[in-house]
Amino acid sequence: MISLTNTMKKLRTLLSICIFSASIISGDDLYAETINDTWLPTMMSEFGEPAQTSKKLTPLQIIIKRTYINGSRCHYSIESKPYRYNEVFQLPLKADIDAAKMTSYLFSTFGFHLKKSSLLYKTSDSGSDCNDMPEYLIQDGDLIIGTNSGYDFLLYKRKYLIEEMSLKNNEKKALQQYSQLPFDMASYIGLCLNYFPMKNGIPLANAQHKCEPVYYPIVADSSSKDDLSKIVGSHLYVKGGMDGISSSEYDNPVKNGLHPIYLIFKTHKDVILARVTDSDRAQDRDIVPGAYISIKNGKVVDQLNEGCNFDEKFVCSSSNSKQKYRLTESGKFLKLP
């Protein structure tokens, strides 16, 4: 029995390694090994000083080691490289702050373990106006320390880790099926949708993609068995106000041979927010703009034909940060003054 138990443990370990190698994220241990996620800035400090709470800084969403900050204005690539203390902390070294002192400070201030095996990432931007991103990101499981000079620090925590604190155990698995807020259209298109697997211009249902865990795009088609895909695929979007040259095809798009790609977001207790996108390019047709729909008790409550961006408070703002709509507990999109 002992031998069989050990064998099973080895098989489970081998399976976990294989899953990670294939980039299929399916458990807490695997999440801890990847930087692809939504990271929330929580605290900041300068060396030797106590940490202060960070409230105004932008969450960091990383997909395939790329990220947008402030919508489409600032695009960063993130390069992994071997961690070397003397590269990141050049200035502190000149002031005789060695690795032992820095390790002690970061642990006592943030609970961050700085070690030789830490994961190091160097960021680079694509625009001269981009200055919102630390030059270096050092990862320790579910924590990231961002720094520019080696003296300034910004602590990020993995979003799902924070959300799990308020969830029951049986709700944690469901958390991984939702895309993450805040949601930015430019980031979604640039980091995920443009790379979605297609065949002959048709989005592939059940295809493996690399948008997780920030986005979980789902394709609704004639083979869909789940209730949400059936709701998304049969909804009358034109009746809901969708406009566009080819929009008539989006009254019951699946029946018309189309394959909507949609995301779902966890909002109020029994309201689901979905972003529906037209990506079919198999025919000579114009792509329709897409829409948000709210679903409650298995029915579509309301439709929002806007490309605005939803935050964690369910407020949808334009690219210039003007608040336009709020999703209410009833499932209605309330227009804001």
**Nearest Cα to 28, choosing from 210, 172, 212, 137?**
172
Determine the pLDDT at residue 117. Answer: 79
Give the C-alpha separation, 302 to 335, whole Å: 12
* 47 and 107 inside one domain: yes
* 206 and 102 inside one domain: no
* 138 and 208 inside one domain: no
Q: Which of 92-101, 146-155, 236-245 has the lowest mean pLDDT?
A: 236-245
* 307 and 217 inside one domain: yes
Residue 50's Cβ-side half-sphere holds a number of Cα atoms within 13 Å equal to 2
* 64 and 148 inside one domain: yes
**Nearest Cα to 66, choosing from 237, 214, 172?**
214
Percent of the residues in the chain that have a pLDDT greater than 90, as a whole number: 45
> What's the pLDDT tens digit per position in 98-131?
999 999 999 999 999 998 878 899 988 766 566 6
* 330 and 181 inside one domain: yes
Q: What's the token pair of residue 6?
A: 């050990």
Q: Which of 101-110, 200-209, 251-260, 274-283 has the lowest mean pLDDT?
A: 200-209
* 137 and 193 inside one domain: no
* 50 and 86 inside one domain: yes
> What's the pLDDT tens digit per position in 35-57?
888 898 999 999 999 999 977 67
pLDDT of 174 over the 70 cut: no
* 251 and 148 inside one domain: no
Residue 72's domain spans which residues?
Answer: 30-162
Q: Which of 162, 193, 208 is the last residue of a domain?
A: 162
pLDDT of 150 over the 60 cut: yes
Residue 134 lies in a domain: yes
Token match 């490309």: residue? 307
What's the number of domains the chain is made of? 2
What is the DSSP secondary-structure string of 144-184?
EEEESSSSEEEEEEEHHHHHHTTS-HHHHHHHTTSB-SS--
Residue 216 CB neighbours (<10 A):
18
* 156 and 186 inside one domain: no
Pairwise pLDDT comparison (244 vs 136), residue with the higher score: 136
**Nearest Cα to 145, choosing from 89, 115, 100, 106?**
106
Q: Which of 139, 162, 185 is the last residue of a domain?
A: 162
Token match 């114009």: residue? 286
pLDDT of 195 over the 90 cut: no
Residue 275's pLDDT band (cuts 50, 70, 90): very high
Q: What angle do CA 23, 29, 30 make, to 5 degrees?
A: 10
* 232 and 139 inside one domain: no
Pairwise pLDDT comparison (227 vs 4), residue with the higher score: 227
pLDDT of 249 over the 80 cut: yes
Give the C-alpha separation, 172 to 46, whole Å: 35
pTM above 0.85, yes or no: no
The residue type of 35 is: I
Q: Which of 162, 196, 214 is the last residue of a domain?
A: 162
Q: What angle do CA 246, 190, 268 make, to 5 degrees?
A: 80
